[in-house]
Amino acid sequence: MIELGLQQVVNGLLVGAIYAVMALGLMVILGILNVINMAQGELYMLGGYFSYFAIALLHVDYFTSIALAMLLTAGCGVVVERLAVRPLRDRPFFTVFLSTFAASMVLQDLAQIFWTPEPREIPSPFAPAPIVLGPVFLTRQRVFVFLLALVMVAAFTAFLRWTRVGMAIRALARDREAALLMGIDAERMYMLTFALGSALAAAAGALLGAMFNVYPTMGELPLLKGFALVIMGGMGSVGGVFVSGLILGVAEGLTAGFLSTRWVDVVAFGTLIVVLLIRPEGLSGWGRRGA
Amino acid sequence: MPRRAAWTLAAVLLAALPAVVTSPYARHVVITALVFTFVALGLNLIFGYAGQHAFGHPMFFGVGAYASALLALEAKWPVALAIVAGAAITMMIAAAVGYPCFRLRGIYFGVATFAFARVIYIVAQNWVSLTRGPMGIPAVPPLDVLPAGWTGGVATETRLHVVLVALLAVTLFLLDRVIDSPIGRAWIAIRENEGLAASVGIRPLRYKMAAFAGGGLLAGLGGGLYAHYIGFVSPTELGFHYIGIVFIMMIGGGTGTLVGPVIGALVFGVLPEVLRVAESARNTLLGGILLLSIAFLPEGLVGLWGRAARSIERRRRAAAPSGPAGREPRASSAEPRTAGRGLSPRLAGTADDSLEVRGVTKRFGGLTVLRDVTFTVRAGEIVGLIGPNGAGKTTLFNIATGFLEPTAGEVRYGGERVSGRAPASIAALGITRTFQITNLFPELTVEDNVRIAAHTWARAGVAGVLSRSRRYRAAEREIDGAVEQALALTRLTAERRTPARVLSYGAQRSLEMAVALATCSRLVLLDEPAAGLNAEETEQLRALVVTLRGRGTTILVIEHDMRLVMGLCDRIVVLDHGEKIAEGTPRAIVDDPQVVEAYLGTPEGAGHA
């Protein structure tokens, strides 16, 4: 019983870290462009497919395929920004929300048409032999995925905090007018932000896709879970989002282990609803200085 | 009435459609589109009128479909009854979902409704004993309002079509009454400016809940009709696809208009079927249509009509420049209505109708903005609240009207504790305020701005609104009378049809006064009403305040125009750095050395003043 619990906690931490990566992509676009990008789930899906095709067609290794997927998806993100976000810059918030929703519908449908709804498996480069840590079994792949997720979060935070572009992006988020007066090229920063958010989604998609296969609708749930995390994390705090991601992952793992795998997806939204009822301002209170 | 004739004609033409549309597939498409008009109308209530971004709201379509199908199949209820009861159940579920979601605002509220949509979807998939899971519920009995043998040889589909059109006509008729009533005005007020709506007595949560649940009722009705028409319900009906479609219908047709969602549902329900190249490309097509309609039809198809009408009007006016501009106002301004009690305070006063500020302290973090402030405004007085900038005057107003809570102390009015209550609840006690920075419903006309302010004393029950009862009509006439008087007193009658945002600054300040007047409050708090006004406008304001007092209204006014304050006020309270430094008649205040010091500085510091 305890072994099972422990195993599920560890599994949950791994998945949760990737949810956090997904949520950070959403959060950076929301924070800087003030856009809820409903197409983020499809960018996640594209990340999974690009990684799959890079391995299947170009015969690159798994790591290179993730890098390629991030790069290509960033390009796709820029296209989405150009077509569905930029022309609507001065329109109300919900208008842009709906136009990214439309982009999401189109992308998902195109994936169904060109790549069929059949799930595809990203071949794992890791030896199937698990690492045994006392009662807990871990595949090398999961360990790697977790570490990579950690690296991404760290790199993302460092990028925003210490690079010139990161500083410009944070300035735009804090006070658009003042940032423009300082000579920051807002359009370019918006594009970069969208590319960055898309690359994070692609990374999450390639990482989770390797565990759970890739298919055209794979992005729907991670998108919504990402939102749940952005809200639970306190809307704009990297630390809050990351911790919320881990909590969500563990809660899901325990639900799968002790209740039923069918109810796993209720956990995210159930938790979100409970958090909203108890603490509408989100769980953060820590790490509020982030992006 | 040409409007009613046009509506009737449209309904009859729509009902007669099966005479022209003969292919069974085309009829099927039209019926499906008709069913969706209800769902789009439901979304429009919460999204279009109340202005709440309830992205998940169309899920209630699926909820209604399940509820009605289960009632008909499991409980063996007659189909028509099952549909009605299913819609009622959907409304209750909507209320239960809406309440926690409304703890959030704006986009976060929207995302929360989305999360609920997903939870309900997963429940439908997994609560197999009730919903049969992903398999769905087959063999849902069809709706037929006529008993067997009475059908007169009319095809089932045609009968359903006519029933749907009739139901739609009734729905629109009732919706029209709701929108053009205090309920609809409250929704629009919340959409346009929630803070101001609350300060004229509209309880935001109550009305948002009503729109959310009422919209749920309509969406549930559409869902029930759909379930019994298609004969099958599955979790798909709760999925994103339908949420997207309903949004396209509402936005494409015209958000926040009565018929827009209906036109949108008919056009965008039929269009994809006509344009369809392949089943698989359905979403690409819908997404494309949504993108295009967002980019090129910001006001929807109805807006297109409005644009055309405006350009025709312009051309006609250019041809005949002497013609009367615009429509006739509802009541001729030559003979202002004096029916009813006009603008006198509406709430029976108690013996002790005074505002008591008792030991109020307010701290923001380490900053003390108000320190132990105590004073009383007695019924019928005009009291001035003055002090240098940053003295805490507006903060005191915010506390007295519920926009802030005091750190210590309390504000009482007529013996009742006021501080700590919500703004709308304080407004209901008969206290209203104006704001230092112009605060109006900018997109609404002058007249509608004033009309909304009658909310405090002219609320209406749903039954009265729907039936247009004698009492309801009498109340509306009362409102008309009060609006006329408020407009006349503030000299805005000629501009009644102008949107507030295009008024001049002075006229906007006048409109704020008119809004305050129309609340018929016993106590009015004016926050720098003369700021930015020229001499003539200031004089008008002075006369208006005197008139108000003559009608039994008590007034507390923050003002920097000393000549106005001295001439107007019975007593003056002086704040400086959050503390009351003086209180007394204008004469006494002018001579008070402490007041002089606060305004001009001490003799040593005079050079800095």
Flag whether A66 is in a domain.
yes
Flag whether A237 is in a domain.
no
Nearest chain A residue (CA) to B278: A113
Q: Does the distance separating the beta carbons of B251 and A101 come in below 8 Å?
A: no
Q: Does the distance separating the beta carbons of A97 and B122 come in below 8 Å?
A: no
Q: Does the distance separating the beta carbons of B107 and A231 come in below 8 Å?
A: no
Q: How far is B516 from chain A (nearest CA, A)?
A: 30
By CB neighbour count within 10 A (0-12 exposed, 13-18 middle, 19+ buried), where does B305 fall? middle
- CA separation (Å) from B376 to B87, B155, B358, B430, B432? 53, 76, 8, 17, 17
- The owner of tokens 């988020």 is A173
Chunk chain B into consecutive blocks of 10 residues (it has 609) and report each block's average pLDDT, rounded to whole numbers: 79 83 83 92 92 90 93 87 93 92 80 84 83 82 70 75 90 91 91 89 91 94 91 83 84 85 86 66 79 80 79 75 42 43 61 80 86 88 87 89 89 87 87 87 89 82 84 86 86 87 88 88 88 87 87 88 87 88 86 79 52
Q: Which of A110, A263, A276 sits opposite B112 (nearest CB)?
A: A276
- Domain count within chain A: 1
Residue B548: partners with Cβ closer than 8 Å, 6 or more residues away: B517, B524, B555
Flag whether B590 is in a domain.
yes
**AA identity, residue B571:** R
Q: How confident is the model at residue A196 (pLDDT cuts 50, 70, 90)?
A: very high
Q: How far is B276 from chain A (nearest CA, A)?
A: 14
Which domain-ending residue is among B276, B309, B327? Answer: B276
- CB < 8 Å to B100, chain A: 273, 276-277
Flag whether B19 is in a domain.
no
- CB < 8 Å to B297, chain A: none
Q: Does the distance separating the beta carbons of A84 and B291 come in below 8 Å?
A: yes
A→B contacts (Cβ < 8 Å), by residue, are 36, 83-84, 87-88, 91, 93-95, 97-99, 101-106, 108-110, 112-113, 220-221, 224, 227-228, 231, 235, 262-263, 265-266, 268-270, 272-273, 276-277, 280
- The 10 Å Cβ neighbour count of residue B510 is 25
Residues B125, B212 within the same domain: yes
Flag whether A245 is in a domain.
no
pLDDT tens-digit map of B239-253: 777 888 888 888 888
CA–CA separation, A155 and A142 (whole Å): 20
SS3 sequence of A232-274: HCCCCCHHHHHHHHHHHHHHHHHHHHHCCHHHHHHHHHHHHHH
pLDDT tens-digit map of A227-249: 888 888 766 678 888 888 888 88
Best of A105, A244, A269 to disrupt the B interface (most B CBs within 10 Å) is: A105
Q: How far is A270 from chain B (nearest CA, A)?
A: 7
Flag whether B309 is in a domain.
no
- In this prediction, residue B327 carries a pLDDT of 41
Residues B169, B188 within the same domain: yes
Q: Does the distance separating the beta carbons of B298 and A105 come in below 8 Å?
A: no
Helix, strand, coil percent values for chain B (each to nearest 5): 60, 10, 30
Q: Does the distance separating the beta carbons of A109 and B280 come in below 8 Å?
A: yes
Nearest to A207 by CA among A122, A101, A290: A122
Pairing state of beta strands B523-527 and B554-558? parallel
Q: How far is A269 from chain B (nearest CA, A)?
A: 5
Q: How far is A60 from chain B (nearest CA, A)?
A: 32
Q: Is B112 on the interface with A (CB under 8 A)?
A: yes
Q: How far is B119 from chain A (nearest CA, A)?
A: 6
Q: At what angle do helices A264-278 and B79-101 cross, to 10 degrees?
A: 60
A169 half-sphere exposure, CB direction, 13 A CA radius: 31
Q: Does the distance separating the beta carbons of B282 and A91 come in below 8 Å?
A: no
Q: Is B100 on the interface with A (CB under 8 A)?
A: yes
pLDDT tens-digit map of A212-225: 889 988 888 888 88
Is the pLDDT score of A290 beyond 60? Answer: no
Flag whether A88 is in a domain.
yes
Is the pLDDT score of A286 beyond 60? Answer: no
Flag whether B121 is in a domain.
yes
CA–CA separation, B292 and B284 (whole Å): 12
Query: In this structure, what token pair is assigned to residue B155?
Result: 């095809």
Q: How confident is the model at residue A197 (pLDDT cuts 50, 70, 90)?
A: very high
Chain CA centroid to CA B149, Å: 48
pLDDT tens-digit map of A9-21: 888 888 888 888 9
Q: Does the distance separating the beta carbons of B126 and A263 come in below 8 Å?
A: yes
Q: Does the distance separating the beta carbons of A113 and B55 come in below 8 Å?
A: no
Flag whether B542 is in a domain.
no
Element (H, E) at B575: strand B571-576
Flag whether A126 is in a domain.
yes
Q: How far is B541 from chain A (nearest CA, A)?
A: 37
Flag whether A225 is in a domain.
no
- CB < 8 Å to B122, chain A: 263, 265-266, 269
Element (H, E) at B174: helix B156-179
Nearest chain A residue (CA) to B281: A109
Best of B47, B107, B129, B236 to disrupt the A interface (most A CBs within 10 Å) is: B107
Residues B440, B417 within the same domain: no
- In this prediction, residue B280 carries a pLDDT of 65
Residues B403, B459 within the same domain: no
Residue B185 domain boundaries = 26-145+157-276
Best of A37, A80, A101 to disrupt the B interface (most B CBs within 10 Å) is: A101
- In this prediction, residue B438 carries a pLDDT of 84
Determine phi and psi for B571, rounding to 5 degrees. Answer: -140, 160
pLDDT tens-digit map of A121-146: 887 767 667 777 777 777 777 788 88
Nearest chain A residue (CA) to B134: A262
Residues B424, B463 within the same domain: no
CATH number of the domain where residue B459 is located: 3.40.50.300
Q: Does the distance separating the beta carbons of B240 and A273 come in below 8 Å?
A: no
Q: Does the distance separating the beta carbons of A104 and B291 come in below 8 Å?
A: no
Q: How far is A133 from chain B (nearest CA, A)?
A: 35
Flag whether B20 is in a domain.
no
Residues B447, B462 within the same domain: yes
Nearest chain A residue (CA) to B289: A102
- Domain count within chain B: 3
- In this prediction, residue B352 carries a pLDDT of 61
Residues B94, B69 within the same domain: yes
Task: Print burial letters for B317-356: b (CB count within 10 Å at least 16), e (below 16).
Answer: eeeeeeeeeeeeeebeeeeebeebebbebbeeeeeebbbb
- CB < 8 Å to B110, chain A: 94, 97
- In this prediction, residue B180 carries a pLDDT of 87
Determine phi and psi for B374, rounding to 5 degrees. Answer: -135, 125
CA–CA separation, A42 and B441 (whole Å): 39
Q: Which of A93, A99, A276 sits opposite B291 (nearest CB)?
A: A99
- In this prediction, residue B325 carries a pLDDT of 42
Residues B448, B593 within the same domain: no
Determine phi and psi for A131, rounding to 5 degrees. Answer: -90, 135
Q: Which of A109, A110, A277 sits opposite B100 (nearest CB)?
A: A277
Flag whether B266 is in a domain.
yes
Q: What ipTM is given for this predicted complex? A: 0.76
**AA identity, residue B113:** T
CA–CA separation, B84 and B155 (whole Å): 24
Q: Does the distance separating the beta carbons of A105 and B114 come in below 8 Å?
A: no
- CB < 8 Å to A280, chain B: 103-104
Best of A79, A98, A255 to disrupt the B interface (most B CBs within 10 Å) is: A98
Residues B34, B109 within the same domain: yes
Q: Does the distance separating the beta carbons of A276 and B110 come in below 8 Å?
A: no
- CB < 8 Å to B123, chain A: 266
Is the pLDDT score of A84 beyond 60? Answer: yes
Residues B444, B425 within the same domain: no
Q: Does the distance separating the beta carbons of A262 and B126 come in below 8 Å?
A: yes
CA–CA separation, B188 and A252 (whole Å): 41
Query: In this structure, what token pair is assigned to residue B558?
Result: 């923050």
B331 half-sphere exposure, CB direction, 13 A CA radius: 18
Flag whether A228 is in a domain.
no
Q: Does the distance separating the beta carbons of A113 and B115 come in below 8 Å?
A: no
Which domain-ending residue is among B276, B306, B337? Answer: B276
Q: Does the distance separating the beta carbons of B294 and A266 come in below 8 Å?
A: no
Flag whether A264 is in a domain.
no
CA–CA separation, B486 and B237 (whole Å): 50
Q: Is B585 on the interface with A (CB under 8 A)?
A: no
Best of A26, A79, A106, A223 to disrupt the B interface (most B CBs within 10 Å) is: A106
Residues B70, B168 within the same domain: yes
Longest distance between any two alpha carbons in chain A, whole Å: 61
Residues B365, B383 within the same domain: yes
- In this prediction, residue A288 carries a pLDDT of 36
Residue A130 domain boundaries = 2-218
Euclidean distance between the first and the last CA atom of chain A, given in angstroms as a whole number: 40
Q: Does the distance separating the beta carbons of B294 and A88 come in below 8 Å?
A: yes
Nearest to B95 by CA among B77, B74, B81, B116: B116
The answer to whether B575 touches B387, Cβ cutoff 8 Å, is yes
The answer to whether B256 touches B248, Cβ cutoff 8 Å, is no
